[in-house]
Structure 1
Amino acid sequence: MPIGPARMPIMDHLGELRRRLTIIVVSLLTVAVIVYFATPTLIDLMIDQIKEAMRGGDLYVLTALGGFTIRFKVAMFFSMIICTPIIIWEIMAFILPALKPKERKWVVPTVAALVALFFIGMIFCYYVIQPAAFGWLLDQSFEFAQNMADAEDYLNIYMLLEIGFGIAFELPLVIFYLSILHIVPYKTFRAQWRYIYVGLMVLSAVVTPDASPVTMLLMFAALIGLYEIALAIARNVIVARDGKQALKWSREDYENAELDKL
């Protein structure tokens, strides 16, 4: 897809933004219309991991409009998943002109990593989080009430969890770039780990929609692991590119070093 020039008047930038948003919206709606007809099969796939927790395996629609509403939401959810590469690429392509020529070489690997991490987060949620989260939530009323599996309620929680984990798993890439571009010095990430861990705990509580401590703790553990992996990779890149002393550099130090190389 074409990339706009680096310098444009503000109205041209807004026109470029509108064009890329239009591509995203049209792609989402087109795919959603196609996917709508396959939603019954997709819903069966969605609840496959939580059937045991449901103890009956059947979903109930409680309103006349409920069936259409649910199928539309599910169609849009899977449309977003299918169009994820397009969405990420259009966002990156809008930002690309602002990058320096040598920074542009990172765009394609970055898009690939963003897409991969998003899907890894959703797969992790599907196989690990969904059974544990729904199992814990439904057990809370097991001793005094019988759960009726309201399809809209269950699928809303399911989709929010999947999207939340998909987005949360982008964290390593953010940490990686903040480190290697020295926007936040690597040493700062290492020295302030206690505060960062608390921040990750708060993020886990905000992103998880079901208010379940089980879900929150599982996400917290996953984010810590991803954070440490991202820092380890960033450290290797910084040392290999600029030397061990660069682990303490600020953004200004990095830019001065780049000027010295010219």
Structure 2
Amino acid sequence: MPIGPARMPLMDHLGELRRRLTIIVVSLIITAVVVYAATPTLIDIMIDPIRSSLPEGTSLTVLSVLGGFTIRFKVALFFGMIICTPIIIWEVMAFFLPALKPNERKWVVPTVAAMVALFFLGMIFCYFIIQNAAVGWMIDQSTEFAGVIADAVDYLNIMMMLEIGFGLAFQLPLVIFYLSILHLVPYKTFRSQWRYIYVGLMILSGVVTPDASPVTMVLMFAALISLYEVALAVARYVLIARDGKESLKWTREEYSDHKYEQEMANM
């Protein structure tokens, strides 16, 4: 897809933004319309991980006349968003691409690919690991004193929010990676302040899990810690390969001095 020039008047920037938003919205609507016919099958796939957690002898129930249409419309939009994820991420990145230097643009395609892969990885992790544990725990809180009606709208809303929440949370490695290799937050800071960062990840786990389930939060916390450590390991490798092992101990000022010396040597 075409990339706009680096310098444009304000109105041209707004026009470029409108064009890219239009591409995203039109792609999403077309995909959702096409997917709508397949929503019964997709809903069956969605609830497969939680079948064993549903109260015995129950199935999803629609409680209103418009309930079926509402569910199918939401599910169609949800899967439309999943299918259009590469387009959405690329259009957002491409809007900012003109502001990057030529040597920085080489990172765009790998970054887009990593964002898409991590988003899907988060959703897959949620589907196979989180859904059954989270929904089962929430249902168990009611079964001892009340019957549970498997309201389709309620169940599917929770499941879709969990999927999106985990997909977004799994973008953490990219944030950590770029903060580290750009020395916006030096690598040694990530390493020395790990206790505070772990507490922050625990808080983030509580914020991004929409069901307020401790089971979901603990599993999310474990996943984020693992991703955090993997991101730091990759950043360490890149820093050593690019600037040498001493760069792991640099402050932001030392990195700026090193970069300035490199630029002067290349002039």
Q: Same fold (TM over 0.5)?
A: yes
1:60 corresponds to which letter in structure 2?
A: T
1:143 corresponds to which letter in structure 2?
A: E
| Cα shift at 1:250 | 3.8
Q: Which residue number in structure 1 is paired with residue 136 of structure 2? A: 135
Distance 1:27 1:164 in 2: 22
1:5 corresponds to which letter in structure 2?
A: P
| CA displacement, residues 94-129 of structure 1 (integer Å, 9 cap, x when unaligned) | 111111111110110100000000000000000000
| Cα shift at 1:57 | 5.2
Q: Which residue number in structure 1 is paired with residue 166 of structure 2? A: 165
| CA displacement, residues 155-202 of structure 1 (integer Å, 9 cap, x when unaligned) | 000000000000000100110011011111001111111111111111
Q: Which residue number in structure 1 is paired with residue 40 of structure 2? A: 40
1:1-262, aligned counterparts within 5 Å?
1-55=1-55, 56=57, 58-261=59-262, 262=266
- TM-score normalised by the chain length of structure 1: 0.98
Deviation larger for 50-59 or 214-223: 50-59
CA contact (8 A) 1:183 1:250 kept: no
| CA displacement, residues 8-42 of structure 1 (integer Å, 9 cap, x when unaligned) | 11111111111101100000000000001100000
Distance 1:224 1:2 in 2: 38
| Cα shift at 1:257 | 2.0
Distance 1:117 1:171 in 2: 9
CA contact (8 A) 1:114 1:173 kept: yes
Q: What 5-or-longer segments of structure 1 have no aligned partner?
A: none
CA contact (8 A) 1:171 1:226 kept: yes
| Cα shift at 1:248 | 2.8
Q: How many residues align?
A: 262
1:186 corresponds to which letter in structure 2?
A: Y
CA contact (8 A) 1:51 1:57 kept: no
Distance 1:29 1:113, change over 3 A: same
Q: What 5-or-longer segments of structure 2 have no aligned partner?
A: none
* Equivalent position SS for 2:20: helix
CA contact (8 A) 1:130 1:158 kept: yes
2:10 corresponds to which letter in structure 1?
A: I
| Cα shift at 1:49 | 0.4
